[in-house]
Copies of this chain bind each other. A is one copy, B any other.
């Protein structure tokens, strides 16, 4: 029905596979790419391959990284006695933007959601427990303040209790039902400040 050459159809299709990109936007992006200098398109294609090829998970915290351990875990100036637990790597970036946390992270890569059949064994809880030897004084749970995030926080508090480590939860301040990604720096800073033991 459409009369685009195959290579154009194919690129439109690839763009349309991306989240939040519809057919019309994909078409516009494709036509934009056709008008770019060849080198720029190659640079874009390379960036895709490079990102997917060189990025792996940090063996300590589970964050995206190009070296192991990651820049945060490998930084001698970061406080290794405080571990902030987040659901996704992108949450680390959000926390870092606050510039008030100097500890290290633990990425769960998900949350506990009985509704969707995701239990503790499906996220990196085992790895979190394994890190609890020795130095760690405090675990700050910064999962999203929604049902799954709260359930995950409760579970972590319960499982770490016998290990004699303080478990805290970032405070109200972030609108409940929201997503960490959309919290502004001040709100997040307040939330960090007002954290309570759970």
The residues of A with any CB-CB pair to B shorter than 8 Å are 1-8, 10-11, 13-14, 17-21, 25, 27-34, 36, 38, 40-55, 64-67, 70-72, 88-90, 92-93, 96-97
Contact = CB atoms under 8 A, between A and B. Distances in A.
Copies of this chain, complex-wide, total 2
A contact face: mostly helix, strand, loop, or mixed:
helix
Closest 6 CB pairs of A and B: A45-B45, A5-B66, A11-B51, A41-B52, A14-B47, A11-B47
Contact of A38 (B4, B14, B52): B52
A17 B32 CA distance: 10
A5 B44 contact: no
A38 to B, nearest CB: 6
